[in-house]
Structure 1
Amino acid sequence: MSTREPYSSTGDVTERLKPPASVQAKNRRKRYLDQHPEYFSADLEMADPLLYDRLIRRFQTPAEREAEGRAKGFSGILQTDLLRSEAKIDALAHPDPNAMLSYKRGPNGEIIAEDKDDIPATKEEGQKRWQWEMEMRFLKGADYDFDYSAVDENDEYDDWNEEQERYFDEEEPEWILEDQCKLAGETGIQDY
């Protein structure tokens, strides 16, 4: 199946139809993330504190946790801890069979992660999975703190490869004249 868009003729002008708005928005969002890797900073922890805890925080050294804590400040640490605790209570009260993470009560009433969850083995694997999850969330438009209109309505985030392909598809072939009498580019060999 071809991915090329059909042409429409509007009077004397033939222009290529644009991809659906939802596809164009996702393409622009992906391009934005490619150009702004800083989006995946530690500040994104608040988006999903449980997932961050499982994929990133568990692999941090005490020095890395301390540095992150200093960057957040006391109120930032408190806010993150409260959000993480509330998310655990919610996950325990309303278990989601499709969720990546699950929790249960420990022997002393504490909320602990279940062993059956798919937990990455290395820090690098955890970082990749975290970034992938946050990228999918961003592409869906589920980052409610982000102003998507700045990306979705900005044609600077269009994929230039598509633009170049469109340019060459619409270009008319022509022969270059040398000395105004002979056509260059003709070999005299016919390909069948």
Structure 2
Amino acid sequence: MPHFPVDGESSGATDPTSAIKIPIHETEAARKARLQIKTRRRRYLELHPEYFESPNLELADPLLYDRMIRRFQTTAEREAEGRKKGYSGVLEADIMRSEAKVDALAHPDPNSPLTYRRDAEGSIIAVEQDEEDRPNNKEEGEDKWREVMEQRFLRGEDNDFEYADVDESEEYNDHEEERRNREEKYFDEEEEEFIGEGEKTGETGVQDY
């Protein structure tokens, strides 16, 4: 699994809201614009939870999907998913999953929670390097999958998604947060004005009342 950097990880860290690198000295305007994009993308996902149900999302990380979602699916659920994808979609997913397993076996990723090996029958199987990374049930698997896909979306790594439709739209602003910010600014200004009035002094240096 790829490493997901966080804000302030280094001068070359990847911004979690896009593929653009964060400059060492980020201006206030640039910081606000970056955070606004992150807010709008997160708001989009809140309003469109169906994003996580897209059949194409499996192809973003077929090995992770296999470990977090497919392993807990019943036969009926896999058949229903297959009908939704169609024959070509199922074939593409199977091919990509097989190729990804071969590549993972040949080129182990030290940052991945999974390591791959062949079993007695020659099949490539995944084994968690840390038992804590193993989902114990369907709900845990779905939560882990959704979390990874959400961070991928916020970083701007879904190449099939038109991010401009969200990043440039005020429709996805967090209006509740904007209201809170306006209120905080108002009370801060009121407090500064009050403190300024209270600092008036006479010649003795003692406040006059």
The alignment yields a C-alpha RMSD, in angstroms, of 2.1
Query: 1:130 Cα shift?
Result: 0.8
How far is the alpha carbon of 1:127 from its aligned partner?
Answer: 0.8
Determine the structure 2 residue equivalent to 1:38. 50
Structure 2 residue matching 1:114: 3-state secondary structure = strand
- How far the C-alpha of 1:167 sits from its partner, in A, is 3.3
TM-superposed deviation, 1:18: 7.6
Q: After the TM superposition, which parts of structure 1 deviate over 6 Å for at least 4 consecutive aligned residues?
A: none
1:144 aligns with 2:156: no
Q: 2-side partners of 1:78 and 1:134: how far apart?
A: 22
Deviation at 1:115, TM superposition (A): 4.8
Equivalence for 1:182? none
The separation in 1 between residues aligned to 2:181 and 2:93, in whole angstroms, is: 47
Query: 101-110 vs 146-155, which deviates more?
Result: 101-110
2:113–2:128 contact (8 Å) kept in structure 1: no
CA distance in 2, matches of 1:47, 1:157: 25
Do the aligned residues in 1 keep the contact of 2:115 with 2:127 (CA within 8 Å)? yes
Q: Does the aligned pair in 1 maintain the 2:39–2:174 contact within 8 Å? A: yes
Gaps of at least 5 residues in structure 1 are 1-15, 174-192
Query: For 1:167-178, what aligned pairs fall within 5 Å after superposition?
Result: 167-168=182-183, 169-170=185-186
Give the structure-1-normalised TM-score.
Answer: 0.74
Q: 1:116 to 1:18 in 2, by over 3 A?
A: closer
Once the two structures are TM-superposed, the CA of residue 110 in structure 1 deviates from its matched residue by 2.3
Question: Of Structure 1 and Structure 2, which has the larger fraction of its residues in strand?
Answer: 1
Q: 1:162 aligns with which of 169, 177, 182?
A: 177
Structure 2 unaligned blocks of 5 or more: 1-27, 191-209
Give the Å deviation of 1:42: 4.4
Tell me, yes or no, if structure 1 residue 29 matches structure 2 residue 41: yes
Distance 1:134 1:19 in 2: 24
Larger relative helix fraction: 2
> Deviation of residue 47 (structure 1)?
1.2
Paired position in structure 1 for 2:193:
none
Partners of 1:79 and 1:53 lie apart in 2 by: 14
CA deviation map 1:27-71 (0-9, x unaligned): 111111011100000411111111111111111110111111111
- The structure number with the bigger radius of gyration is 1
Percent of matched pairs sharing the same residue: 58
| Aligned with 1:72 (options 85, 93, 108) | 85
Return the alpha-carbon distance in structure 2 between the equivalents of residues 132 and 151 of structure 1: 20
Matches within 5 A, 1:100-111: 100-111=113-124
Partner of 2:138: 123
> How many pairs align?
158
Structure 1, residues 130-174: CA drift from partner, whole Å, max 9, x if none? 11111011111111111111111112211112221243334887x
